[in-house]
Structures are given as structure tokens and as C-alpha cells.
């Protein structure tokens, strides 16, 4: 990690309906990276937001008897509530209907038009007259049926502006070659090249006249800007690009000392990996350093998507199980970059195994023993008295190093596993050292003190490494070890000797054990669309 600063973003989500657990997944991962960077002492700017234009919103609003702005205002209110509930630490929230975005997107369009990168042409597609909608080949399928109303569609044309992609293909390929870490997983790069670029990339349609809920083009008012030129540019308009206050933009986008990282789902990779670098090059701006593509959370064998049911509302899930259990599950259960599944059984089991049993019990037992054997005061470090002390210390030190290397490479699932290795090793250490036997022999007091000190150190270190994920439990853990959560510094993870003299405070369970016979049906009930 050689950069000084980090700019990290989620995609902006589309408020045509409520958010589901897939959105919570992406935003939670992004939040964990941001919190990790800050914990390590780096400056980090974290952006999320809402993509508020488009025909679907215009229609859904009309169906609900609301203006599009009123409609999105209400749904975006729900975004804010959910991110607050999940303790998302974003620095800003951009809405594409805000003036700061609209005006700059219009400027961007004008610049590209003036430069000859955008031209007026004809958009040809499948059109459903009753729905007033254009659809793609894939959307209408082999039977050429409107995916919304089921009526047959016809080929139709409308005047539209296009972005000249061919002008930037060569330099995009060169950019991929010079920046092998740009796309993660790496397989996505080959997919971009072989599936989209090599067969011949069409120019990208960037305007529409068939609906009006969008950013009007100044040069031709019957057109509104269509999707990607509006949506992707949020990453720079939010920082004040092309505004009177470009300080954040200069610091977190243009400065090569800042690493820019977009986190996104596979369904929008093409737009982020192909068109976004092209837009930026057209504007003469830096390209992002990294784009991380996460997999899909599947539920019960079916892919989660906005258009299908069978998705769990994260809100009641967090309300019932708490923010830590949900964040931990999302970050731990699905290996970043791969598809994973959400099942009620796995959720309950993961929470019980890792949080209630492994971490919660370790803390509980350690604090109880320190109370019982040392009057509640953590004994000072006694050195490495035997090979098990040495082994535990070396697991702690190795895990810290692994954790940092993994998270620097944004490998979150593996990083959590490294932190949990400490917890699991410490639980084994209790079995090996049998403190209840040592306690019976006054001559073994030094050994007993060493065991208590090592257990407290293992707990502290694991708690610190898990802090970006367990936003409430880690602080509770520190408090039970007699440490002030506001004052403990990350640097202490490198020091296995610093604890001693703190007075432990027995508190409530970090994470209650969940009863599967009650909680599994509860989650199934949520998944069926109830709340």
C-alpha cells in the first residue's frame, strides 16, 4: 500500500423500488474497506448515492400518482435510513437530481459535443407503443415481446446522440495492459475484451426523446441524457469537478497519490470498465485505479434481481439481529468476487458459530477467569513461558500481517478468516493450558497470569482487526477488557506485551446465541416478502 489517500465508491442505486440485501451487501463491503483504511490512519473519502432519472422512475411515479421527484425523494429517504441502520460511514451521498450534478453533466455533454466525441444519429430498437419504451434484443427475447406488458414490440427509430467509442478503443486496451490491477477479478478484463470490444463496440447512445425524466441537453431541449453519461459521472460531480469548489476533486481524483476504487456488481461491469474510462479520457481526466466486481447473492437457487421477488429486506433483518451479525454475515459468508448464497440456515449458523461461540464465549470465559483468579485485573505480560505461549503469539503476529496484506488487496472474506484464526487458536489455547488446573497450584501463578494476559491480547487483537466489520461489538469487547474504545489505537496490534493492569468489566454477551427453530422461520417469512 503506497498511496496516501483513498476514494472509494459504491454504485449509485436506482430508486425505482426499495433496496434489497444485494445493495446492502455492496455498500457494507465498501464501508468495511473505508473503515479499514481510516483505522490504518489513511485519509479516505467514501461516496454512495442514488441514480434518480429514467423512464422506469417516470412510469412508477405516474402509477403511484406522484411526481418523479416526490417519488424518488420518498424512496431515497429509505436509502438513508437503511445506511444509518447498517452504520455506513459514507462521507457524502450524491443524488443525480441535485443541481451540483445536473449542471456539471450538462457541461460535460457540451464539452464532448464541442470536441466531436458526441454526434447526433438515430437509435434503432424494439419499441412498445403502449409502454412508450425501447427494449434491447435480450429484453424482448426470441418472441419479441415487451418485458413490461407482454405485447408484441416493433422495430422503431428515434433521433439520439451517440458517444464515439471507437475513438478510444485503442487507448482503453493500452490502459488495461498498463494497469493489470484495474479490474478485479482479473477474468473480467478478458470478458470485456473478448465479449464486447473484439466483436466491435457500437457507439453508445447517450440521449433519448421518448421520455422526459432526465437531464435536458442544453443544445437540444427535447433530448434528455440517457443513463450512463448521467450515472457514471456522479463519481466526479460529487467531488466538485468543474465547480467553484474543486478541492475534493483535486485531492481525491486527480492527485496520483490518491487511489480511486469503484466497487460494483457484475451486471454493470461493462459500463464501468469500458465507457467510464473513455468518458474520462474524453474529458482529459485520470482514470480510476481499481474496479472491484463483487458476485451476486443468490437466494434459494435463484439470482436476486430488482425485477424478481424472493429477496430479503435488510431492514427488518438488521432490526432483529443487529448490525454486527448482518455485516459479519455479508462480509464473511460470500467470498468477494464470487457468487454466493443467502440462506436463513447459514445466517443463523454463522452468527452462532463465529460470533456467539468462538468470539463471544472466548471473551466471556476470559473475563470470568480474570475476575475469579486475579480480582478482575489483567496480569502483566510474563514473556513466553512455554511453547503454547509462543504458538499463540506467532498466530497473532502472522494473522495481523495476513489480514493487512489481504485487506490492502481488498480480499475481505479471507481477511476476516485471518482475524478469526486468532480467536480459534485462543480457544484451543485454553484447552491446552487448562487454567482451572493451574489455579489449584499456587506455584503455577505466573503461568496462570501468562495465560490470562495472552488470552486478553488475543481478544484485543481480534477485536481490533474485526472493528471495520463489527462496528458495535469490537468497542464492547474493548470496554470489557478495561480499555477505552475511544483511545485504543490500531498500532497496538503489533505489540503482544502492552496489556496488564486494566480492570475488566463483565458485560452482556457480545452476540446472543440464536435459536434456529425460531429464527430460521422468521427469516423465511421475510424472504417471502413479508415484514
Select from 122-130, 170-178, 399-407, 442-450 the region that touches Zn ion (CB under 5 A). Answer: 122-130
Whether the Cβ atoms of residue 459 and residue 426 lie closer than 8 Å to each other: yes
Whether the Cβ atoms of residue 420 and residue 469 lie closer than 8 Å to each other: no
Cβ proximity to Zn ion, 149 vs 380, nearer residue: 149
* Shortest spacing between CB 105 and Zn ion, in angstroms: 29
How many residues sit close enough to Zn ion to count as binding (CB under 5 A)?
5
Cis (ω within 30 of 0) for the bond into 185?
yes
Cβ proximity to Zn ion, 128 vs 229, nearer residue: 128
* Shortest spacing between CB 62 and Zn ion, in angstroms: 14
Cβ proximity to Zn ion, 57 vs 197, nearer residue: 57
| CB neighbours of residue 475 within 10 Å | 17
Whether the Cβ atoms of residue 241 and residue 253 lie closer than 8 Å to each other: yes
Residue 156 interacting with Zn ion (CB under 5 A): no
- Alpha helix ranges (H) inside 387-433: 387-408, 412-433
Select from 123-131, 158-166, 221-229, 372-380 the region that touches Zn ion (CB under 5 A). Answer: 123-131
Cβ proximity to Zn ion, 44 vs 146, nearer residue: 146
* Shortest spacing between CB 149 and Zn ion, in angstroms: 3
Tell which one of 8, 76, 128, 248 touches Zn ion (CB under 5 A): 128
Residue in the structure block whose three cell numbers are 485531492: 251
Cβ proximity to Zn ion, 132 vs 247, nearer residue: 132
Tell which one of 114, 120, 149, 380 touches Zn ion (CB under 5 A): 149
CA distance 52 to 349: 38
Residue 145 interacting with Zn ion (CB under 5 A): no
Select from 127-135, 348-356, 378-386, 448-456 the region that touches Zn ion (CB under 5 A). Answer: 127-135
* Shortest spacing between CB 132 and Zn ion, in angstroms: 8
CA distance 358 to 509: 12
CA 489 to the chain's CA centroid? 24
Whether the Cβ atoms of residue 226 and residue 220 lie closer than 8 Å to each other: no
**Beta-strand relationship, 340-342 and 204-205:** unpaired
Helix (H, G, I), strand (E, B) or coil at 126: strand
Longest dimension (CA), the chain: 91
CA distance 374 to 250: 55
CA distance 183 to 169: 17
* Radius of gyration, CA atoms only, the chain: 27
Select from 129-137, 328-336, 356-364, 398-406 the region that touches Zn ion (CB under 5 A). Answer: 129-137
- Cα atoms in the 13 Å half-sphere on the side-chain side of 372: 13
* Shortest spacing between CB 147 and Zn ion, in angstroms: 8
Tell which one of 146, 378, 451, 499 touches Zn ion (CB under 5 A): 146
Residue 140 interacting with Zn ion (CB under 5 A): no
* Shortest spacing between CB 124 and Zn ion, in angstroms: 18
Residue 131 interacting with Zn ion (CB under 5 A): yes
* Shortest spacing between CB 416 and Zn ion, in angstroms: 46
* Shortest spacing between CB 148 and Zn ion, in angstroms: 5
Cβ proximity to Zn ion, 148 vs 159, nearer residue: 148
In total, the chain counts a number of residues equal to 531
| CB neighbours of residue 394 within 10 Å | 13
Cβ proximity to Zn ion, 145 vs 285, nearer residue: 145
Cβ proximity to Zn ion, 148 vs 409, nearer residue: 148
Residue 148 interacting with Zn ion (CB under 5 A): yes
Cβ proximity to Zn ion, 146 vs 217, nearer residue: 146
**Beta-strand relationship, 297-299 and 340-342:** parallel
* Shortest spacing between CB 130 and Zn ion, in angstroms: 5
Binding site for Zn ion (CB under 5 A): 128, 131, 146, 148-149
Amino acid at each position: 500500500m503506497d498511496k496516501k489517500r483513498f476514494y472509494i465508491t459504491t454504485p449509485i442505486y436506482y430508486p425505482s423500488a426499495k433496496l434489497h440485501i444485494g445493495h446492502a451487501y455492496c455498500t457494507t463491503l465498501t464501508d468495511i474497506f473505508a473503515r479499514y483504511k481510516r483505522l490504518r490512519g489513511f485519509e479516505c473519502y467514501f461516496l454512495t448515492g442514488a441514480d434518480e432519472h429514467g423512464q422506469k422512475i417516470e412510469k412508477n411515479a405516474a402509477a403511484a400518482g406522484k411526481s418523479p421527484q416526490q417519488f424518488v425523494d420518498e424512496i431515497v429517504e429509505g436509502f438513508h435510513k437503511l445506511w444509518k441502520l447498517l452504520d455506513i460511514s459514507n462521507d457524502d451521498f450524491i443524488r443525480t437530481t441535485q443541481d451540483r450534478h445536473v449542471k456539471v453533466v450538462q457541461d460535460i455533454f457540451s464539452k464532448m459535443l464541442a470536441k466531436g466525441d458526441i454526434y447526433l444519429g438515430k437509435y434503432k430498437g424494439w419499441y412498445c407503443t403502449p409502454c412508450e419504451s425501447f427494449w434491447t434484443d435480450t429484453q424482448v427475447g426470441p418472441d419479441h415481446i415487451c418485458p413490461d406488458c407482454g405485447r408484441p414490440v416493433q422495430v422503431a427509430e428515434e433521433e439520439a446522440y451517440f458517444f464515439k467509442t471507437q475513438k478510444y478503443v485503442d487507448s482503453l486496451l493500452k490502459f488495461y495492459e498498463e494497469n493489470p490491477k484495474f479490474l478485479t477479478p482479473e477474468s473480467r478484463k478478458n470478458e470485456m475484451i473478448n465479449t464486447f470490444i473484439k466483436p466491435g463496440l457500437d457507439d453508445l447512445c447517450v440521449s433519448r426523446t421518448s421520455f422526459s425524466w432526465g437531464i435536458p441537453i442544453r443544445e437540444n431541449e427535447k433530448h434528455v441524457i440517457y443513463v450512463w453519461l448521467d450515472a457514471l459521472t456522479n463519481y466526479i460531480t460529487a467531488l466538485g469537478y468543474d465547480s467553484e469548489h474543486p478541492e475534493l476533486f483535486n485531492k481525491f481524483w486527480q492527485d496520483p497519490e490518491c487511489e480511486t476504487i469503484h466497487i460494483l456488481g457484475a451486471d454493470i461491469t461493462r459500463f464501468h470498465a469500458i465507457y467510464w474510462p473513455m468518458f474520462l479520457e474524453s474529458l482529459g481526466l485520470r482514470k480510476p485505479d481499481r474496479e472491484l466486481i463483487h458476485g451476486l447473492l443468490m437466494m434459494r437457487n435463484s439470482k436476486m434481481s430488482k425485477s424478481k421477488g424472493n429477496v430479503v429486506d435488510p431492514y427488518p433483518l438488521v432490526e432483529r439481529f443487529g448490525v454486527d451479525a448482518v455485516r459479519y454475515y455479508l462480509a464473511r459468508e460470500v467470498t468477494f468476487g464470487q457468487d454466493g448464497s443467502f440462506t436463513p440456515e447459514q445466517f443463523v449458523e454463522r452468527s452462532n458459530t463465529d460470533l456467539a461461540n468462538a468470539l463471544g464465549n472466548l471473551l466471556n470465559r476470559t473475563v470470568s477467569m480474570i475476575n475469579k483468579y486475579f480480582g478482575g485485573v489483567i496480569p502483566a505480560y510474563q514473556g513466553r513461558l512455554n511453547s503454547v505461549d509462543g504458538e499463540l503469539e506467532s498466530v497473532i503476529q502472522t494473522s495481523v500481517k495476513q489480514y493487512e496484506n489481504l485487506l490492502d488487496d481488498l480480499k475481505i472474506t479471507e481477511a476476516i478468516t485471518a482475524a478469526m484464526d486468532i480467536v480459534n487458536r485462543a480457544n484451543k489455547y485454553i484447552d491446552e493450558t487448562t487454567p482451572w488446573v493451574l489455579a489449584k497450584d499456587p506455584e503455577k501463578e505466573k503461568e496462570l497470569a501468562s495465560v490470562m494476559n495472552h488470552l486478553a491480547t488475543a481478544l484485543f487483537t481480534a477485536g481490533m482487526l474485526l472493528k471495520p466489520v463489527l462496528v458495535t461489538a469490537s468497542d464492547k469487547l474493548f470496554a470489557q477488557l478495561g480499555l477505552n474504545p475511544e483511545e485504543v489505537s490500531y498500532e497496538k496490534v503489533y505489540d503482544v506485551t502492552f496489556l496488564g493492569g486494566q480492570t475488566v468489566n463483565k458485560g452482556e454477551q457480545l452476540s446472543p446465541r440464536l435459536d434456529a427453530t425460531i429464527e430460521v422461520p422468521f427469516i423465511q417469512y421475510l424472504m417471502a416478502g413479508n415484514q
